[in-house]
Amino acid sequence: MDPKHFESQVEALSALDDTVRRKLFQFVEAHPDASRDQAARAVGVSRALAAFHLDKLVSAGLLTTSFRRLSARSGPGAGRPSKLYRRSALQLDVTLPQRRYEWAAQMLSRAIATGGTVDSREALRRTAHEHGEQIGRGLDRAPAKTPALRAAARALGKCGFAPATGPDGQVVLRNCPFASLREGCRDVICGMNLAMIEGVLAGQGLRGVTAALEPQPDTCCVAVRAAPADRAPSDPAPSDPAPR
């Protein structure tokens, strides 16, 4: 076990050993680029206390910061840029005694990426879909009248994908559980991920949503959208134009 790595993991986890700090971390995780004022209001603490705990989370490597003006004003008198917080890319995974499951996953995924056949990749996707279905069936379902897209976000949130609504209404998955495996074999891992997500949606019985590969920086490669509405049975079927 690497002592320095172990110490850094424990220190990062210990930074969350405070109720207010955990609530602030969870708020920022769900609302990237949150300001101190926004986080303080959401958690119900003073701005000064929120700033103290947020900066402790930054020091522990759990959050990162940036600066931006939140108003449309610019130039003299516009005020100073706000300090904004978002979750860092730090991954915490402490096991005692130490296990190296990720190493095995990396070796297997790279073997498929470099020497695998079309059949082996299809077998991986099929297995991932079946595994996703098992996960989906094991999750409790949203109330009956919940819109399908919201129900999908609810289910994928329980799987650790940190879903959020994108600018055009799709569900963006802000966390990829397989991020550390993608280097050098993105097509294999992303294909597996897509198949698993489709399986989760199928296991939940959600027919009104679709998942597709839409890679974006710093997010999961999959986006989830509402499926196009089916053509009403009374609508006339499209026909070929009459010959001239």
Q: Give the class (CATH, top level) of 3-87.
A: mainly alpha
Phi, psi (5° rounding) for residue 210?
A: -130, 150
Instruction: Give me the pLDDT at residue 202, please.
Output: 97
Closest CA to 157 of 170, 174, 144: 174
Query: Domain locations in the chain?
Result: 3-87, 118-226
Instruction: Give me the pLDDT at residue 235, please.
Output: 41
- Dihedral of alpha carbons 143, 145, 148, 153, sign: negative
| Coil, strand or helix at 157 | helix
Write out the H or E segment, with its range, that includes residue 38. Answer: helix 36-43
Is 223 in contact with 173 (CB distance < 8 Å)? Answer: yes
- Residues 40 and 243: their CA atoms lie apart, in Å, by 69
- Residues 219 and 86: their CA atoms lie apart, in Å, by 13
- Residues 115 and 106: their CA atoms lie apart, in Å, by 14
Instruction: Give me the pLDDT at residue 239, please.
Output: 43
Radius of gyration of the chain (CA): 22
How would you write the pLDDT of the chain (244 residues) with one tens digit per residue? 567 777 888 888 888 999 999 999 999 988 888 999 999 999 999 999 999 999 999 999 999 999 988 766 665 555 678 899 998 888 777 777 777 888 889 889 989 998 888 999 999 999 999 999 999 999 999 998 999 999 999 999 999 898 988 777 789 998 888 988 888 788 999 999 999 999 999 999 998 899 999 887 778 899 999 987 643 344 444 444 444 3
Instruction: Give me the pLDDT at residue 230, please.
Output: 41
How distant, in Å, are the alpha carbons of 31, 70, 87, 134, 218 from that of 46? 19, 20, 21, 44, 31
Instruction: Give me the pLDDT at residue 234, please.
Output: 40
